Homo-oligomer: A and B are copies of this chain.
């Protein structure tokens, strides 16, 4: 519970000033929405499986066996991924083909491409 230390008077700060710019709210919302869709191991595996297929698109007939899930479970997870903009659906004949959306993956990846050197900023 060391966080309790920071509940004291705001006048009793260790040093002055804040550190940088805040991510715009709309962008934070978008990244959080993508991450929420990927907050499940089955969906993580589905996205990876689609992305590493020969050309980024897989016919749904393969997915239940490949992932070890039922068709209703596949539909549930694909809906979450689609709603978050992570996959597109394309019906070809009687089958649905799923593709990853590179633009959405890139947005999340760009967010995670942050400076990573350790150190102390303010004191």
Contact = CB atoms under 8 A, between A and B. Distances in A.
Interface centre among A44, A99, A105, A113 (most CB of B within 10 A): A44
Contact of A52 (B10, B49, B105, B114): B114
A105 B5 CA distance: 27
A118 B52 contact: no
A10 B65 contact: yes
Interface residues of A, number: 87
A58 B117 CA distance: 13
Interface of A: 2-3, 5-8, 10, 12-15, 17-23, 25, 28-29, 31-32, 35-36, 38-45, 47-49, 51-67, 71-72, 74-75, 78-79, 89, 91-97, 99-100, 102, 105-106, 108-109, 111-123
